[in-house]
Structures are given as structure tokens and as C-alpha cells.
Structure 1
Amino acid sequence: MILVLWDIDRTLVYTGDIDRRVYREAFTSVVGRPPTALPARGTGVTMPLAVRELLRVNQVPEQDVEALAARIVAELPERLAGHRELLVRDGVVMPGAVDALAAVQQAEDLIPTVVTGNLRGSAETKLSELGLIGYLDTTIGGYASDNLHRPALVRIAQDRAAAKHGGRFHRDNTVIVGDSLEDVRTGLEGGARVIGVASGTTTAEQLRSAGAQHVLSDLTSTTTLLHFINRAQAAVRGR
């Protein structure tokens, strides 16, 4: 079997400024003043690391960063859930995402879940409100609430998948589908092949140069996506 790890933001969905709104609200609630700068867009870093950067660029004393970051991170999923109507109204499912998810889910030898910089609660809210959660087994995913560092999430998801399905998951039978340089790094360092999708702020050439084994312009060609995933299957069967 092949474990397919989907990234969420800018790969499956685009939620515009909603995350940044949530960061602003949580920062203001915890720090007591609104931020003057917000995290960079589309980088793919985990939410806890983005929160630490948010605190630092807004001149919060270094000795206070960890404690305040923990409080902000704890607020993020609930605050996002408070904007469900906004997610439904303004959130966008990326072109081809539904058909791509359905094709992977229906394939007999593929196990679809997520590896994401979102906290689990935030990830499930986005997927649920935009109608995608039924295509994924979120119980075996890897989330920023599991570890600050994205490469570590691959092993977490592999271990959860192994516990549920048996066998052992490793680089040769695990594939990440994602749009950012962080997705590529996560695969290379964490132990997965990478299919880059140039649907975010990173170009196809940048994804290739960073080490993605395959690159798609978007998810509209389900046949091509499955072909790239099945190359991993062929490698495993040829061993």
C-alpha cells in the first residue's frame, strides 16, 4: 500500500486572509495589543512556528515568546471554528482537488491522509467546512499539534497508518502532495517522495529545484497525479 499525505492550504483549499485574521485576534487577546505585522503568506511553516515569528516581529521580549506562543496556539483552533460561516463563504476548494481526492480514496492500494502545518483542530475545521474531510482519514494524519517541525510529522503519520493498516511505511511507499518548499523539505527530510503542485506561491521550477520528484501545475489532471503516485507503487513492487 502507498500512504498519500496531502498538504491542505493552497494544495486542497485556499482560505484567503482567514488564518491571518485568526492570528490577529489571538495575538490581540493574549498580548493585549493588535499586531503591526503578520506571518508571511504561503510559506508552509507550522502554526506554532508562525506564532513565534509573529511574536518576534511584533517586538515581544524574547523571554516571553514561548509562554505567549503556547497561549496563542491554544486559542487558534477555537477561533478558527468561530469563523465557520466565513470559511464556507470565502474559502475556495482548489481546482481539481475534489476529483483528485476521490480518485486517491477510491484506489485500492492508496491510503489518503494529511500532513499539514495546521493544528489538528484547524485542519479538520477547514476540511469539514469546505466539504473535503470525507475523502481523508484524518485519524492517521500528522499535524502541527503533534510536532513543531514538519519533517517529524511524516514519521508520525507513517506510524499511525502502520498501527491501523499493518505493514511498515517508509520513503518508498509514502508520497507527499503539496505546494510549498516546506512540503518538499518535509518529504526529503522526513522520509517521503514528493509530488509538488505549483498552485501556491512557489513555482514549478522552484519545487523541482528543491527536490520534488514530480511537479504538477495543479490537480486538474487526475490521471497524471495517479501516474506519479503509481511510480512509487512500481518501485516498491520491483524490489
Structure 2
Amino acid sequence: MILVLWDIDRTLLYVGDTDRTVYRETFREVVGRDPERLPQRGTGVTMPLAVRELLAANEVPHDQIDRLAGQIVARLPERLEGHREELHTSGRVMPGAMEALSAVHGAEDLIPTVVTGNLRASAEIKLDSFSMLRYVDISVGGFASDDSHRPALVGIAQRRSEAAYGSAFGRENTVIIGDSLEDVRTGREGRAKVIAVASGTTSAAQLHEAGADKVVDDLTDVGRLLSEIRALGRRGVC
């Protein structure tokens, strides 16, 4: 069995400015003023770390950041839920993503779940909004609500998957599919192979240089994607 860990944002779907709207509104609700700066787009950093950066960039006193960050993070999923309609009007499914998800889900030798910088509740809202939730086993994924250090999420997903499916998972049979430098770092540090998709804000050349095992332009060639997953997930396994 090969464990397939999908990234969400800019790999499977794009939510336009909705995430930034949610950050802005929640910051205003908790801090009491509008933020002048918002988190950088497309970095793949986990939501708790993005919130801390948001607070620091907007000159919130250092001794207040821990308390306010906790309040903001706790409110993000509920605020996102209120923008479901906007997810559809300003967001979109990435090219080939639905077909790729369906193919991986339908393969008997592949276990699809997610490793994402989203909180679990936020991840479920996004995937459900685009009818993608049915194609992953969300119960064995790794989320920013588990740990703000993204490479640690690989081990969390591996342990959950081992308990659920009775197979051991390590670097040799775990494959991340994601679009950012953070996805590549997550694989390299978290013990997983990486298929990088140049569908976000990072170029194919940058993804290669960062150490991705394979780089594809998008998810439209489903046959090639399945072949790459199996080649990486079975390399060195007898």
C-alpha cells in the first residue's frame, strides 16, 4: 500500500481571496482594528504560524501574540463556514484535480488522505465545498490543528493510517502531492517522497531545486500521475 498525502490549496483547489478575507475579518474581530498587512499568498505555511506572522506584521505587542493567536485560530473555521458561497464564486478546482483525486481514490493499492497547512475543520469545509471530501480518508490526515510544524504532520498521518489500515508507512511508501516549497520541505524533513505540482506561486525550476522527487505542470495527465506515485512509493521496496 502507498499512502498519498494531498495538499489542498493551489494543488486541488483555489479559493481566491476568501482565506485573506477570513484572516482580515477575524483579525478585526479579535484585535479591534483592520490589519494593514495580510499573510503572503501561496507559501503553504500552517494557519497557526500564518496567524502569528499576521499579528507580528501588524505590530501587535509580542507579549499579546500567543493569546490573540489562539483566539484567532479558534475562530477561523467558523468564519470560513460563513463564506461557503464565496468559495464557489471566487474559487475554482485546479486543472485535472477532480479526475486525479477520483483515480487515486479508486486505486486499490493507494490510500488517499491530506497533509495540509489548514486546520482540520477548514480543510473539510474547502474539500466539501468542491465535492472532493468523498475522495480522501480525512480521518487519517495531518492538519495544522494537530501541529503547527508542517513536517510533523507526515508522521501523524502515517501513524493514523497504520492504525486504520494495518500497514506500516515511512518514506519509502508515502508520497506527498503539493505545489509549494513548504510541501517539498515537509516531505524532505517529514520522511515522504514529493510530487510537486507547478500550479501555485512556485515555478517548476524552483520546485526541482528545492528537492522535489518529481515535478509536473498540473494534474491533467492522470495516467502519468499514477505511474509517478507508484514508481516513487515502491522504489526500494521488495
Query: TM-score by structure 1 length?
Result: 0.98
Please give the residue correspondences for 1:1-239 in structure 2 after superposition, counting only pairs within 5 Å.
1-237=1-237, 239=238
Q: Distance in 1 between matches of 2:49 and 2:233?
A: 34
Deviations 1:71-112 (Å, cap 9, x if unpaired)?
000000000001111112222000000110011011110000
CA contact (8 A) 1:173 1:236 kept: no
Give yes or no for contact 2:173–2:234 (8 Å, CA) kept in 1.
no
Work out whether residues 193 and 233 of structure 2, in 8 Å CA contact, stay in contact via their aligned partners in 1: no
Question: How far apart are the structure 1 equivalents of 2:181 and 2:36?
Answer: 26
Cα-to-partner distance string for 1:115-172 (whole Å, 9 max, x where unaligned): 0000001000000011111111101000000000100000000000000001210000
Gaps of 5+ in 1: none
Supply the distance in 2 between the matched residues of 1:77 and 1:32 (Cα, whole angstroms).
Answer: 19
Could you tell me how far 1:203 is from its partner in structure 2?
A: 0.4
The normalised TM-score by structure 2 is 0.99
SS at the partner of 1:11? coil
TM-fit CA distance, 1:19: 0.2
Amino acid at match of 2:153: L
CA deviation map 1:163-197 (0-9, x unaligned):
00012100000000000000000000001000000
Counterparts of 1:24 and 1:226, CA distance in 2: 39
Distance in 1 of aligned mates of 2:133 and 2:45:
22
User: Which digits, 9 at most, give the CA deviation of each residue in 1:173-229, with x for residues without a partner?
Assistant: 000000000000000000100000000000001001000000000000001111110
For 2:161 and 2:65, the matched residues in 1 are separated by: 34
Would the aligned equivalents of 2:204 and 2:215 in 1 still touch at CA under 8 Å? yes
Distance 1:136 1:183 in 2: 18
Residue identity matched to 2:49: L
1:91–1:130 contact (8 Å) kept in structure 2: no
**Moved segments of 4+, more than 4 Å:** none
Determine the C-alpha separation between the residues in 1 that align with 2:79 and 2:143.
18
User: Distance in 1 between the 2:69 and 2:167 partners?
Assistant: 38
Shift of 1:233: 3.8
Measure, in 2, the Cα distance between the counterparts of 1:5 and 1:84.
Answer: 24
1:57 and 1:184 map into 2 onto residues whose CA distance is: 26
Q: What is the aligned-residue RMSD (CA, Å)?
A: 0.8
CA distance in structure 1 between the aligned counterparts of 2:44 and 2:145, rounded to whole angstroms: 15
Counterpart of 2:167, as a letter, is G
Structure 2 Cα separation of the partners of residues 74 and 3 of structure 1: 29
Q: Secondary structure at the match of 1:150?
A: coil
Distance 1:83 1:127 in 2: 14
